[in-house]
Structures are given as C-alpha cells and as structure tokens.
Amino acid sequence: MRVLLIEDDLRLQETLTTHLREAGYAVDVSADGIEGLYLGEEFPIDLAVIDLGLPQLPGLEVIRKLRSKGRDFPILVLTARSEWQDKVAGLEAGADDYLTKPFHVEELMARINALMRRAGGHAKPRIDLGPFMIDLTGQRVFRDGKEIELTTYEYKVLNYLVMHPDEVVTKTDLGEHIYEEDADRDSNVIEVFIGRLRRKLDPDGTLNPIETLRGRGYRLALVLAA
C-alpha cells in the first residue's frame, strides 16, 4: 500500500518515513503543498498523511483540491492545531481523520491501518478469508490457526489484494502500490511474488486463493467473511 506523506518539518518527515517503511508501506514524501498536491493527483496513492501548516499551499487547500479532482483515498490530517475549529475545518475540507501533534507513532500507525481497512471495506482489523485469517495490525497471516511466514513484499501483495476484493488487480497496480516512485519496477518480480504467495498459502494446490485472469491481472478468489 502506498502512502503519501506531506510534512514540512524534515526531521519529523524522516522519522515518520522510517516508521511507515518499517510497517511495510511504500512512502512518497513531500515537504510543501504544491509538490504534495502534484504527487497526490498523479500517483496511485492509497492514503495520504497531510500536515495542515504547509508552505506554498496550506494543507486544507491541498485536501480540497484533491477531493475536487475526484481523488477519494483516505486522508489523515496531521496538525499542530489541536483546537476543534481546526479539526472540524480539516474534516469538512475532506479529510477522514485527524491526529494532533505531538502524537504517539503507534497511534498514527493504528489510525493509518484503520483508515486503510475502512477504505477496503473491512471494519475489523482481523479478516477471515475461507480458512485464512489475516491480522492487519500485526501483519500476520494464519491458515486454520497456524501462522504462515511471509516476506514483507509477499505480505504487501496479499494485503493489496485483500484491500481490493472483487476487483481485477493488474501487475502495474501491484507494482505501483508496493514500490515507491524511484524503485526499479519489474513485472516479472510481481509474478515471482504471486507464485511464492500461492505456494505458501496453498501448498497442495486445492484452494487456488488467487486466480489469474490472462492478460488482465489477478483476483482474490475467496469469499470474505462478513
């Protein structure tokens, strides 16, 4: 999943980027409103974390412009202004949640997770998928109660598929949402990840949890439990 972080304080930007990458997100960063808006408009972003006090273009404007361009990914507002008039203004501009500075990093991660889940239509942090159970908070996957060890990228691929159920996901989609802008993207690598993921999830080949639609992409074949 790809997160856009627009924060003008470089120290905070750096720390948060590290934390987000550790949590398995691809992160695009900007320190000002205009560049941030450009990234948000042009890139396949899954979630944005936007500071309200931005140089060039205020955060509220960035949010309004993104929404008016039809970009509907979740937006979490990060603000030094803890007053409710500012929170309400942010939410009315189109944000989905807010966090006041200073904050606990765990709190930020939990909020981002929750927003991602809600955007994917999942209300709870645990997703039941046939015999599988995916713990979004702990980023762990179980089959019939037994944990399956996945690498970071394998988990990212699975997570993206889970967040887009009933959709055909192309290799390009997966590449864009898993890697950051400057990373070397090779569609063959995605195929490799899908292959490994299938073997780990379904070693005996009976469930076929991820189906391939030739020339189009992949789709989660299991029905999500409500």
Contact residues: other proteins, CB under 8 A:
9, 11-12, 15-16, 19, 53, 80-85, 87-88, 91-92, 96-98, 100-106, 114, 118, 123
Are 59 and 51 in contact by the 8 Å Cβ rule? The answer is yes
Nearer to other proteins, 96 or 154 (CB): 96
Residue 188 pairs with which residues in a beta bridge? Answer: none
Q: Which two tokens stand for residue 58?
A: 């205020």
Are 49 and 58 in contact by the 8 Å Cβ rule? The answer is no
Cα gap 135→114, rounded to integer Å: 12
- Nearest approach in angstroms of CB 163 to other proteins is 15
> Any idea how long the chain is?
226
Nearer to other proteins, 99 or 150 (CB): 99
Q: Which two tokens stand for residue 10?
A: 């470089």
What angle in degrees, to the nearest 10, is found between the helix axes of 152-163 and 171-178? 120
Nearer to other proteins, 84 or 182 (CB): 84
Cα radius of gyration (the chain): 18
Angle at 177 between CA 173 and CA 180, to 5 degrees: 125
- Nearest approach in angstroms of CB 9 to other proteins is 5
Task: Kindly report the backbone phi and psi dihedral angles of residue 25, in degrees, each rounded to the nearest multiple of 5, phi listed first.
Answer: -95, 145
Nearer to other proteins, 38 or 103 (CB): 103
Nearer to other proteins, 114 or 169 (CB): 114
- Nearest approach in angstroms of CB 91 to other proteins is 4
Cα gap 56→83, rounded to integer Å: 23
- Nearest approach in angstroms of CB 105 to other proteins is 5
Nearer to other proteins, 104 or 146 (CB): 104
- Nearest approach in angstroms of CB 138 to other proteins is 15
In Å, how far are 97, 107, 113 from 90, measured between CA atoms? 9, 19, 20
- Nearest approach in angstroms of CB 173 to other proteins is 25
